[in-house]
Structure 1
Amino acid sequence: MENRSHAMMAGLFMIILLIGAAIAAIWISKKNVPLKPFELVATSPVTGLSVQSQVRYQGVPVGRVDALRFIQDKPGQVRILIGVAPNTPITTATWAEIVTAGVTGISNIELRDKGETHDRLESSAQHLAEIPIRPSFFERLQSQGGGMLASLERVLTQVEKIASDDNLSAINAAIKHSAQMTESLNKSVQAMEPGLKKLPAVMDTLLATGKRVDSAALEIGKLAVAAQDTVTLLNAPNGPMQTAAKSLTGLQEVAIQLRASTLPDVSVLSMSLTDAARSFNKTSREIGQSPQSLIFGLPRQAPGPGEPGFAGFNGNGSPVR
């Protein structure tokens, strides 16, 4: 049993040794991958940044800092040389920020990109490409700290003015008035509650009335359509209106014809009847004066003056018979 346990321990040790060797080989192989060089120029302090500091792309480790140098002809600027893995998608829109990691004071370089372009930034040892550095959040906060403090002081001054005794008294009075208004509003709501309970019934009545109005409007619409149809029928070709118009036209023509032909004939007939009546009256008078004229005819008339056989006048001026 003891020999078996020793053999098992020896085998386990060998397995752990092989795994460690594999991990070391992988780590060494990664370290031997050539990195693509890039250049950064910092105009602000690079506190906490040193050689072998990490370079991250969107939070993923992709390289390290290779060197920190001063630019002799540009005081206040620091040249930072970094090495980045060749497969890192650095584009012409990529920029860098120097970010402090936690409270340790160690700084790293963060490469950021919004993905606005796909044009890769080419760089080599002979022609180093420069990646611009933008101020980090804490640097922007530090640069704007003076203005923020001034604004904070102004805000505190205004708060102090608002919190004066007079304003606090006014605020307390306003709160009391608000409480009174709330109480009055509650009373108003309680008074309105019976009316609100009746509101559904009123709404139902209004809906029923609206339905009746709609029905009446529909009937009126039907009557209007029927009236329109009646008017159309009356005005239709050979309809009652045109027939009546034709009848009136015929009556007008008959009246014109009656006025043009019949009435003159009636006038002539009337004149003839008048003449006949005069002749009859004359004959009646003559028969009344000489009834024998019906048998013997009319008496012969005595010749008048200037006629042959005229005998002259008697003593009274009457002609002699």
Structure 2
Amino acid sequence: MRRRSGETRFGIIWLLGGTLLVLAALLVLARYPGIFRTGIEYRAVFKSVAGLNKGDEVRYGGLPVGTVTRMDIDPADPTRIIVAFRVKHNTPIRADTKASITQVGLLGAPYLHLDPGSRFAAVVPPGSMLPTIDNPSFQDAMRRLAEFFDRTDTLLRGAERFARASPIERIDATLNRMDTLLAIATTGAQTSFSTLDRTFSRVDTASVRLSRLMDRSERLMAALDTATRTAGPQLAATQREAVESLHEIHTLLADFRDALSQEGGVDQMVRNLSAASDNIARLSERIERDPSSLLKQRALPNKPAGPRARE
């Protein structure tokens, strides 16, 4: 009897110990769900994870490669959700691999889809944050469709109320007013067209007159050009005459200075100066009487050299 009681106590102890071990293992698994899991963990941030749950599949180009491990609110931005997931070690997660939430068909279960990206991109290290694509879910599409139907229903009800409140007579009166307005607009348009025609005819007349004036201006410019070319030699002759007169005056002044220095021949210098003054006076009178006489071809006057030539 004593032996049986000892075996019974031993069995109870083993049973209690095993139960405690199982409970401890369950607690550890609940506290650290990924402690016995294999694979590499990555993260992705979404604005909405509607329909996605912890433990859902992760597919790489449609091939199942892992599961979603946890989903938390981003402490830096409460409008975003951080999704952590594990994939197999041989899954090539690259820098341009993008994550998105999608589903198979309209009523299929949602899953985390990984776009493979380019094979030339670098492989990212474990724990990296992957770029995401926020695809609208089926629930979002249905919600937007329901909102569209609600707005359409509201619009139809408003149109129905307007149709009930507006009898046929008012609609006919409105149409008649529109016809009247169209007739007035047509008359105004015809008047405007006639005014435009008159304006264009006036513009044509002014253009013809302007063309004639331009022709006259061209002829006048040609005449001025011809006169300038013709008067060129005459102006040059007049200029030479003036230069010679200035040289003569300069010579007379030099002779006058010599005469004064020698105290002789003063009378001759005075006579020469008097003759030069008379020539300059005659030239000035001619210019005052007829300024255009400078352009006429004339022989250079003979300058008298002294009192004898003057007499």
Which TM-score band (shorter chain)? 0.3 to 0.5
Bigger Rg, which one: 1
- TM-score with structure 2 setting the length: 0.40
- TM-score with structure 1 setting the length: 0.39
